[in-house]
Structures are given as C-alpha cells and as structure tokens.
A and B are shown apart, each in its own frame.
Chain A
C-alpha cells in the first residue's frame, strides 16, 4: 500500500508528518531503514506499521543502526538510512555517524526530538542532537515545521550522496510528525542549493599538466584511496593503470578498486603496508594520488614523506588537497570523470613522448618484493592469524563481502585477503571503530542476500556490538563471523610490547565468554577451531551452511604481531620487519 494513492481529483495527497517521512523515503528509492523505536519517533513507527513499501530492520542498539546503514551504503553505493529516537537514541548513534563521517559514507540519519514547545526545557530524552552531531556530519537539519519536511529530506539525500559523500542528520520533533495534522504532500524531484555546488569535471589544463608529468616520470607510482571506491572510479582507474604500466599501491580504504591480485599492485601502503609499497613511495619521482587524503597512518612522518616526488592529487574535496602535504598539480573533480579525461589525454600524448623508461623502476620494485615482507612462520602448532585469513581467502575464492572490526585482525585481512573488486572490503578506517564489523555485515548481507558475507573480528572488538547476534537471528542472516581469538586486544598488546617494554596494561581480555555457546544461545551455529590442520575443513563446513549464521571461534597464536610496521614518527623507509626478517640485510 502506498501512502500516495492518487486523490480522486488529482490533487496532492494529504499526509501527516509521520507519513511524509515514510513516503519521502519511498520516493527517494530507499528499500531498507535500520532503526530502533522510542517515544519521539512513535508517530513515525506507527506510519511505518501501516505501509508495505519500506522495510525496517530492527537492530538491538542504535550504534548498530548507523553501522548497518553504513555497511549497506559501502556494499551498494546507495545512501544508508537509519531511524532512531531522541536523547539516548541519538547519542548512541553518534559513534556510527562519526564512523561514516570519517570514511565519507553517505547516510541519512533521522532522529526523533522532543516536541518543539519542549525544546530547551531539559525534557525527558531531550538532547541537542544538532549540536552534538555538528562536528561529525556533512550537514544537519532541525525541522520545526511539517511543511519543510519533504524538502529537507530531499536536501539531505542530495547533500549526503553528492560531492564528497557523508552523513546528514535530520532531527524531527515529535509534534512535526503529528498524525492529526495533514498537509498536501509533493516530493520535490529537482533540487538546487545555491550554497552547494560540488565540482563534477576536473580542469583539463591541470589534467594535461599531470599527464605531462606522468609521461616524463622515471619512478612513478599510483597511490589510491577510498575516494576511488566511493566515486565509482574503479573501472577507470584499472584502465588507466593498465595503460600506463605504472605500479600502484592503495590505502586501507581503497583496497579492491584495482585488482589486488594483479602484478602491478604492490600491496597496501602505510603503517602496516608492504615493504615494496612503502619503499616505492619513498623513492618515487611522480606520485599520482587519487581519492586519498594523506592520512597520518599512510604518510608516516610528514617530513620524510615522498622526499623526491612531484605530487599530483585528484580529489572531489578541495579541502583534502594540500591539507597535510604540499601538492604540485591539484585536480578537483569527481574521480571517475577526471580519470576518464586523464586516460584520454594520456593516450593522445603517449605516441608523441618517448615510452616511459620505467623498466629500471620495476627492476628495483622486484628486488623489494623478493624480500617477501609478509612471510610468516607456518611450522607451528598454533593457528597463525595470517594463515587463518589465507585459508578464508582460499575457501571463499576471494569472493566475500568482508567486514572487519579494528585491530590486528583488520590489518591481517588487508594484507592476506586480496580483493579484486571494489566495495567488497568494508571496515572503519578513519575513526577505527571497534564493534563496527558485525552490524556492518548485517547491512552488507541485507544489501546482497545471495552473496557470501563474513565479518572478521577479534575477541575484544566483537563484544562491542555482540547484541546484534539477535538481529542476525531475527532476519535469518547467513553471515559468517571469523573470530581471530587471541585473548588480547592484539593491537594494543603489540604496541605495549614494542613501545612500553611489554607492560601489558589492561590489554588482556579476561573472562571471555564461550563464543560457541553464546552463538548457540542466540540460535546460531557455533564452531571452535584450535589446530591449523582443522581450519580449512571447518571453514568449508561453515560456508557450506548457506542459510545459517555461523560463528567461528578460531583460537590463534596469542603473541603474533602485525608486520611490517612503521612506528609513529618514522618515515616509509624506516619500516620494522618481522623478527624473522630482521636478521636479513635490508636492500
């Protein structure tokens, strides 16, 4: 049943604010809303109950509503939507909103608010949502008049999904959704905001300059980030990288935009990047940065960053350019458009210039690669976390939508599960939110019901949103959780070992639950694997259960560390390799 059944006289239908919220989402093409009801949104939930076009997913904590909407958005490229109540509903969602903001994920977050006459009176479940969320949203609105509701929702989706995407909060006081106050409803199709005009096309003169630099480069490298995934520029990127024959590295957020199994791919760069990627960054003479923001986890010490390079930077957000690092050729525009223009100009220019002499460069890179920096000992009785990820890759043919929490397991996944397609690797890179993985997997699985979705997690992270096991049961989501259980907050423990003389202050997770029984109590399948030789069969068994949620508690080597590592304050060339490499002379 649609709320906009044509009126007999063809006039706009009369809807209440609550009905407008629902109908505007339907008109916006929204399929799923992740939410949790409460006092201030009861009118909206009542309107939701009385319609059939919009599906609502009931989470068990508002943080998970935002993460699930975010996971849905990352897996599809569409805007994620969540609906929470005022006060604690809104504050619980803030972590999820900030997570989306840091990674530029399009979300529209509808928050209930106390009725307008009560605003500012410290009413029950009142909080200044617009004030609290202001620093972690792309924009936010407080709607005080039902007549502004439809237009505001249209604006919110427009802002969230265009330019550099991001979360937009709409705070809606309860009286604005009053079911007894009906007004004519028309959803605005076109919207123009005089104060908001994201750049679409890059400046051709600048792109030409960049191409000239690329053609003259001796040691070029592409450095690509999440912007390529978000801007749907993966195909254009792949074509350009292939046409140039240049090496390419990617940030954590950009993995999968270029096929990671391709020989031109050097692996991830940065703090836990590969030796070859970081050394290439250190020695490059022309760096082509695309949709990446020179984050401190990527650059290492800024003074040592790419000391020999002229830098080309393509980004849709002008404020990302020259924020942390000086740039020689800035190009503002949508990544897909700029890369298409760049490819065209590159092909036009290429015959005129001499073929780029980068054979020597590749020879150097091959030497770095020969170090095999990710190598880890395999002749152990304990399951190495790296081996667990490699086995996961083997069992799933690299086809997973893989979400992750934050810590060692996240880095191992980035290093050992090579994604060949964009939007397959879903993790909180910017904010580093533990607890993200499971709810994000809910969003990804609902977006792709037929696909295999897994969440790789740690024993500390998983407990931060463990209540979502109930949501997975309610909607029969066949997600697989791969828990790399080392009994520690692994990354904290690693830093304490390396930088605090092994004083393991509160990084030991005492009193872990029995994850198998815990999963079973929620109606799921629980499995525990403790020996390396059992792992592959166990994973095959788990993934063969296409209609069941399976929680795999994989007991891994508790003291394994993530290498290579660039310590804080060091440059790309000052990587610390694993102890088994340390004995060897570095190139």
Chain B
C-alpha cells in the first residue's frame, strides 16, 4: 500500500542523506521525497511517498523516528489529508497546436508561464493523478520536458504537525 509520510527534521547538514541512506540500507521503497525548510528556519519538512505492507511501513516509521535528526513524524495516509504536486511542462506549441494546448490548460486549470513562437511552459498543481492525466491528455509528440516536484501533503482539520 502507498503511504505518504511527513517528517519534521532538524535543519542540519546531512539530515537528508541520513533519510536517503536509511531507505537504501534497509531496502525500503521510496517513490518520491521532497524537502525544504519551514517557517521555523531550524526545521525542515520532508514529505516522502513509499510503498510496502503494514509491517514494513511500521518499521519505516520506527526507523525514521530513530534518526536523531527526526523531531516529529506523521503518516498522512492514516487520516484525511490533502496532497499537492507541482509540475512544469515544456511543450512544442506551433501554429496548429497552440489553440488545443490553450484549451487543455483551461480545462485543467493550469497556467502558461512562458511563451515563445514555438513553445509554452505550462504550470499545473494538483494531486499527482491529475498531473498524470494532464500528461496523458497532451497530444502525442509535443512534450519537450517535464519536471515534477513530487507530492507534498498536509492533514485536514485544525491540528498541525508542529512542535
């Protein structure tokens, strides 16, 4: 089963490699991992997506908690939560395709953030599946480049993952 785990880490050099090293050393799956400092500059927040049966995911959480740099951890998939991923797609946008691309951008509530005579850069944010659907919907052969942030997530409701 897929799990999305949010981790508050001490914003120390090497904290990220400790997490990455843990996953490779113990043979855990890692689908994506994003990390950035939070409003508190001493803390980083990491979101990682992993898969495994209940026992493995339980071990993953225990091992993450065991890292000295881990301050707090929550398995967002255990409750209601919101996931968002950001993507930028560079597409070939020449005369015959430009209108069709513009319509797709509107349908998906995406944005065109860079324009040349022959290309667009499209920005789209949403659940990862929506991003997949947008890529599927693009006419064949137009994609030049895709960059995705990997999902981040937050729990619904008033409670927060804070100190």
Contacts and interface: CB of A to CB of B under 8 A. Distances in A.
Contact of A319 (B10, B59, B71): B59
Interface stretch (B60-68, B79-87, B90-98, B105-113): B60-68
A131 B20 CA distance: 12
Interface in A312-366: 317-319, 322-323
Contact of B13 (A135, A142, A195): A142
A138 B59 contact: no
Given A130-B14, A319-B59, A319-B63, A195 B68 contact: yes
A220 to B, nearest CB: 26
A473 to B, nearest CB: 40
Nearest to B22: A135
Given A319-B59, A322-B55, A322-B58, A195 B17 contact: no
Contacts of B130: none
Interface centre among A131, A140, A194 (most CB of B within 10 A): A194
B17 A159 contact: no
A130 B15 CA distance: 12
Given A142-B13, A319-B62, A322-B55, A135 B68 contact: no
B163 interface: yes
B68 A138 contact: yes
Contact of A139 (B17, B25, B68): B68
Interface in B45-77: 55, 58-59, 62-63, 65-66, 68-71
A194 B72 CA distance: 9
B62 A318 contact: yes
Contact of A134 (B21, B59, B63, B65): B21
A322 B56 CA distance: 10
Interface string B14-33: 10011001000100000000
Given A319-B63, A322-B58, A195 B10 contact: yes
A135 B21 contact: yes
Interface residues of A, number: 18
A196 interface: yes
Nearest to B12: A141
Given A159-B68, A194-B163, A195-B69, A323 B59 contact: yes
Contacts of A134: 14, 17-18, 21
Contacts of A193: 68
Interface in A140-175: 140, 142, 159
Interface in A108-150: 130-131, 134-135, 138-140, 142
A138 B67 CA distance: 8
Nearest to B70: A195
A196 B70 CA distance: 8
A319 B65 CA distance: 9
Contacts of B69: 195
A106 to B, nearest CB: 14
A193 B12 CA distance: 13
A323 B66 CA distance: 13
A573 B156 CA distance: 52
Nearest to A164: B66
A319 B60 CA distance: 9
B16 to A, nearest CB: 12
A131 B17 CA distance: 9
Contacts of B163: 194
Given A135-B25, A194-B71, A195-B10, A319 B66 contact: yes
A353 B131 CA distance: 63
Nearest to B59: A323
Contacts of B58: 322
A158 to B, nearest CB: 10
A315 to B, nearest CB: 11
Contacts of B65: 318-319
A131 B14 CA distance: 9
Contacts of B21: 134-135
A318 B64 CA distance: 11
B135 to A, nearest CB: 36
B162 to A, nearest CB: 12
B54 to A, nearest CB: 10
A134 B19 CA distance: 11
A135 B22 CA distance: 8
B61 to A, nearest CB: 9
Nearest to A193: B68
Given A131-B17, A134-B17, A142-B13, A196 B55 contact: no
Contacts of A139: 68
B14 A195 contact: no
Nearest to B63: A319
A139 B65 CA distance: 13
A323 B62 CA distance: 10
Contact of B68 (A131, A142, A196, A323): A196
Contacts of A131: 17
A317 B66 CA distance: 8
Contacts of A138: 68
B124 to A, nearest CB: 36
Contacts of B17: 131, 134
Contacts of A195: 9-10, 68-71
Contacts of B71: 194-195
Contacts of B18: 134
Contacts of A196: 68
Interface in A180-213: 193-196
Interface string B101-132: 00000000000000000000000000000000
A205 to B, nearest CB: 20
Contacts of B9: 195
B17 to A, nearest CB: 7
A135 to B, nearest CB: 5
Contacts of B59: 319, 322-323
A140 B12 CA distance: 11
Nearest to B55: A322
Interface of A: 130-131, 134-135, 138-140, 142, 159, 193-196, 317-319, 322-323
29 contacts: A130-B14, A134-B14, A134-B17, A134-B18, A134-B21, A135-B21, A135-B25, A138-B68, A139-B68, A140-B14, A142-B13, A142-B14, A159-B68, A194-B71, A194-B163, A195-B9, A195-B10, A195-B69, A196-B68, A318-B65, A318-B66, A319-B59, A319-B62, A319-B63, A319-B66, A322-B55, A322-B58, A322-B59, A323-B59
Interface of B: 9-10, 13-14, 17-18, 21, 25, 55, 58-59, 62-63, 65-66, 68-71, 163
Given A135-B21, A318-B62, 10 more contacts: A130-B14, A134-B14, A194-B71, A195-B9, A195-B10, A195-B71, A318-B66, A319-B65, A322-B59, A323-B59
Query: Nearest 9 pairs between A and B by C-beta?
Result: A319-B62, A195-B71, A139-B68, A135-B25, A319-B66, A318-B62, A196-B68, A319-B63, A134-B21
